[in-house]
Structure 1
Amino acid sequence: MSILTESEAYAILDKVVKLSKADQCTAQLSGSIDGNVRFALNNVSTSGIVSNVDLAVEVAFGKRVGIATINQFDDASLERVVRRAEDLARLAPENPEFVPAVGKQDYKPTSTFSPATAAITPDYRAKVAADSIGPCRAGKLVAAGFLQDGQSFSAVVNSKGNRGYQRATALDYTCTVRTDDGRGSGWVGRSLQDAASFDAGTEIRTAMRKASASADAKALEPGKYTVILEPAAAAGLISFMLNFFDARQADEGRSFLSKKGGGNKVGEQVYAPSVTMFSDPGYAAAPVLPWDGDFLARERTPIIDKGKVANLQYSRYWAQKQGKRAVGEPGNLIMEGGTKTTAELVRTTERGILVTRTWYIRMVDPQTVLLTGLTRDGTFYIEGGQIKYPVKNFRFNESPVIMLNNVEELGRPVRVQGDESNLIMVIPPMKLRDFTFTSLSDAV
């Protein structure tokens, strides 16, 4: 029951919309079957499957809005949830920023569903755990990781004639490997839509190599260094920065994209010319649903074009107020790059530091997007195009805006999950000059 067919979903949603006596009604069904396995200290600790389906009903009387949810779908329950939403709407104060439900949208289907991922079984999850644990145990290393896979559907119908239905799948895997004495740590992570391209036995070797190589780390003086950020390390900083690509924040002077005297920096050169980013719901390596949380259709949208700010995100309210056209909020971010792997970027670096991963990232100054955080799970000194030795982890103070003005070279983009958002990101490894490390950390 958790994954409804298109006809099953529409039968429920159409019935809900017809039951409503409000000025407008939007009904959404979402369901999923999510499986997982967790392991630590070279042993499986938990495993499970969660299955659920929910109906959300949003109604409005004028500018008064009410929302109610339920997970029972008999006629009496559907009647009850609609009336509850209407009762709440009548009690609610008027919303001064209310925008009516979207009209009929042109949703272009995207390839978000993989039969291989939907077919994952408990045996598959057990094999992923075994393929991760076995090599580590044999190599006197300790593995701790998590695999989560799922299939889902989303469907919407509103009283203005808009309707949409689509299925999706996802697989996320992370594993941290430590040396048995705890002095070395390595990490690997994969974010995929299609399980057919995933092999835990191959992926775990990356974390194992870094764990073994990162023991006996040397202390290096903090300061400004040329760095190579692996895609997972760069994604955490970039996803923070994207929170400020909101037109209202910029127009109201609350963003690094605000102009002195009013307005925003759309069209201005803010980054290095090598920096180009866009969102595209149908992008083959990172497809997402063709609508956003307001059920507005997503489109391919340039965000940064050769270093210039190309677009900001307008909410439907702010677009109406500013006389702009609103498009669906991005579900992914694609950053263009080159063809080199991380290893090839290392070979062209005379002196620098390789960063596997960043974590515990926090905001220091919103006006400049100055962030602080730590490196972890494998940080290495590069000299003469080779990794010479592991170094102790650093705390950094860096703005991704400045960072993306100091680009020396970009590698081949890969898919990662954005740390501070639900965005699926395709990010290249990047070589950057003058990255600021402020202090050392004893953590591995």
Structure 2
Amino acid sequence: MAIYSKEDARRIMEKALSFSKADTCEVNLSGSESGNIRYARNTVSTAGYRSNQNLVVQSSFGLKSGTATIDEFDDASLEKVVRRAEELAKLSPENPEFMEPLGPQQYDESKTYVDATANITPEFRAQVAADSINPAAEKDVTAAGFLDDSNGFSAMMNSKGLFAYNKSTNANFTVTMRTNDGTGSGWATRDVTDVAKLNASMASKRAIDKALMSRKAQAIEPGKYTVILEPSASSQLLGNMLFSFNARNADEGRSFMSKEGGGTKLGEKIVDERVNLWTDPLNEEVPSSPWNGSGQALKKMNFIENGVVKNLFYDRYWAKQKGVDPVPFPSNGIMAGGDASLEDMIKDTKKGILVTRLWYIRTVDPQTLLYTGLTRDGTFFIENGKIKYPIKNFRFNESPIIMLNNLETLGQQERVDGNLIPYMKVRDFTFTSLSDAV
């Protein structure tokens, strides 16, 4: 059994802690049960089920720490893993940035678990594959996709009296559709906490439509264009931007958030005033654990408000050095959107490009947050409010900061990888060269 109740998890960790002889000891216990189905060339290729459990012990003597893991929880095994962690701690060098475990914390009630998702059956997974493969075959399109669903828990206890427990569920679906003449490609992804919100058939239709629309793409000249970015196109760029909000990197002059001559951009306006970005573990659409790997409670917090930087992330060590309260890295990201649908945004565009997805994104300059990458799986030219024809993929060079300063329209939000991201219409997005890849 990989899923332990709160009471059973507490009992196992209390037993492990009872064997500790270290100055401080922290125990993390986790388990998951997950199923999956994969298909390619319009045929299911693999299907499986996994069950895993793991206990991690970190023992510390002064500034020295050692870690050991085990997946057997009888008394002898628990004592063995604690002894091993202590042996490793005594052999380890001192860590000058070591922080003692936290004491007892107060956490909000989690919203990350849904029974229906935990009880997904093999028959359900097979139907998801069928709902993707059958319509693809009817349209002379080849489908390749993957559904992975999971039900798990995480628990933490330490010698300072902290105890945390959370159960969660998730289902991830992704599909690529390629036309059989090799000239068109479409793609869609969905991730949900509650499987009742997963419509794999609709996602597959969206990918099929993109594949058929993108056949025999035409080449147009690279340059600066107005673009409509679907949420899956902008999510990684926004995530990379969020990483630059690390206070230590900013204080040490190593990030975009560093000011020339010293200091940070905290409190400064860096993007369009319509941009609001925050985290909220209790959001109904993208719930996340109410605590992190250090046992810190996670709360709703703004990072950009009306274009202004409101908070930076401070880990416990750096917060102590600076004499401020720690600010944990967020467990999700939510960007405010608008009422406009994708169709509305296309109709309101005289000349531009619709981008389904960006991939192979790499850093060019961390100080300016300049990134490069490629479009993929459906790139289309828009003229006078209509999609006119598919175009060949581009390489881009762009910064999310510049992108969010060139914002024209914010559209409706979609969940992408546990985050809520809106459709965005942006002017002067920089495409630098063509790519022949479909």
Could you state the TM-score of these two structures normalised by the residue count of structure 1?
0.98
Q: Which residue of 1 aligns with 2:354?
A: 354
What are the Cα deviations for residues 341-393 of structure 1, in whole angstroms up to 9, with x where unaligned? 21211111111000000000001111111100000100000111111111111
Q: Which residue of 1 aligns with 2:277?
A: 277
Please say if 1:443 is aligned against 2:437: yes
| Cα distance in structure 1, aligned partners of 2:282 and 2:347 | 34
Q: Which residue of 2 aligns with 1:368?
A: 368
| Cα distance in structure 1, aligned partners of 2:334 and 2:197 | 20
| Cα distance in structure 2, aligned partners of 1:394 and 1:288 | 35
2:3 is matched by which residue type in structure 1? I
Q: Which residue of 2 aligns with 1:420?
A: none
Q: Which residue of 2 aligns with 1:242?
A: 242
Shift of 1:328: 3.0
SS of aligned partner of 1:221: coil
After the TM superposition, which residues 204-243 of structure 1 pair with which residues of structure 2 at under 5 Å, given as runs? 204-243=204-243
Identity of matched residues, %? 54
2:165 is matched by which residue type in structure 1? Y
* 5+ long unaligned stretches in structure 1: 418-423
Could you state the TM-score of these two structures normalised by the residue count of structure 2?
0.99
SS of aligned partner of 1:156: strand
| Cα distance in structure 1, aligned partners of 2:367 and 2:128 | 44
Please say if 1:78 is aligned against 2:72: no
- Counterpart contact for 1:291–1:328, Cα < 8 Å: no
What are the Cα deviations for residues 259-284 of structure 1, in whole angstroms up to 9, with x where unaligned? 11211100001111011000011111
- Counterpart contact for 1:17–1:27, Cα < 8 Å: yes
What are the Cα deviations for residues 105-139 of structure 1, in whole angstroms up to 9, with x where unaligned? 11112210011110101111111111100000111
Q: How many residues align?
A: 438
Shift of 1:97: 0.5
SS of aligned partner of 1:208: helix
Q: Which residue of 2 aligns with 1:180?
A: 180
Q: Which residue of 1 aligns with 2:195?
A: 195
| Cα distance in structure 1, aligned partners of 2:343 and 2:94 | 57
SS of aligned partner of 1:413: strand
After the TM superposition, which residues 42-441 of structure 1 pair with which residues of structure 2 at under 5 Å, given as runs? 42-417=42-417, 424-441=418-435
| Cα distance in structure 1, aligned partners of 2:327 and 2:166 | 19
Shift of 1:103: 1.4
1:427 is matched by which residue type in structure 2? I
2:353 is matched by which residue type in structure 1? I
Shift of 1:313: 0.5
- Counterpart contact for 1:413–1:429, Cα < 8 Å: yes
| Cα distance in structure 2, aligned partners of 1:199 and 1:274 | 31
- Counterpart contact for 2:191–2:198, Cα < 8 Å: no
RMSD: 0.8
1:441 is matched by which residue type in structure 2? S
- Counterpart contact for 2:186–2:211, Cα < 8 Å: yes
What are the Cα deviations for residues 203-245 of structure 1, in whole angstroms up to 9, with x where unaligned? 2110011100100111110000000000000102111112211
Q: Which moves more between the two structures, 222-231 or 152-161? A: 152-161
- Counterpart contact for 2:312–2:327, Cα < 8 Å: no
Shift of 1:199: 2.1
Shift of 1:192: 0.7
Q: Which residue of 1 aligns with 2:29?
A: 29
Shift of 1:329: 2.2
| Cα distance in structure 2, aligned partners of 1:162 and 1:410 | 42
Q: Which residue of 2 aligns with 1:421?
A: none
| Cα distance in structure 2, aligned partners of 1:414 and 1:99 | 38
Shift of 1:301: 1.0
Shift of 1:198: 1.3
| Cα distance in structure 2, aligned partners of 1:182 and 1:348 | 32
| Cα distance in structure 2, aligned partners of 1:83 and 1:341 | 59
What are the Cα deviations for residues 68-90 of structure 1, in whole angstroms up to 9, with x where unaligned? 11000000000000000011111
- Counterpart contact for 1:34–1:150, Cα < 8 Å: yes
| Cα distance in structure 1, aligned partners of 2:164 and 2:372 | 41
| Cα distance in structure 1, aligned partners of 2:292 and 2:182 | 43
What are the Cα deviations for residues 10-32 of structure 1, in whole angstroms up to 9, with x where unaligned? 00011111210111111110000
Q: Which residue of 1 aligns with 2:38?
A: 38
* 5+ long unaligned stretches in structure 2: none
What are the Cα deviations for residues 287-314 of structure 1, in whole angstroms up to 9, with x where unaligned? 1011112111111111101111111110
Q: Which residue of 2 aligns with 1:15?
A: 15
| Cα distance in structure 2, aligned partners of 1:329 and 1:109 | 19
| Cα distance in structure 1, aligned partners of 2:326 and 2:166 | 22
SS of aligned partner of 1:430: strand
2:328 is matched by which residue type in structure 1? G
Q: Which moves more between the two structures, 352-361 or 237-246? A: 237-246
SS of aligned partner of 1:10: helix
| Cα distance in structure 2, aligned partners of 1:282 and 1:19 | 36
- Counterpart contact for 1:69–1:81, Cα < 8 Å: yes
1:21 is matched by which residue type in structure 2? K
| Cα distance in structure 1, aligned partners of 2:436 and 2:19 | 62
Shift of 1:67: 0.7
| Cα distance in structure 2, aligned partners of 1:173 and 1:221 | 34
SS of aligned partner of 1:240: helix
2:183 is matched by which residue type in structure 1? R
| Cα distance in structure 2, aligned partners of 1:339 and 1:90 | 59
- Counterpart contact for 1:59–1:67, Cα < 8 Å: yes
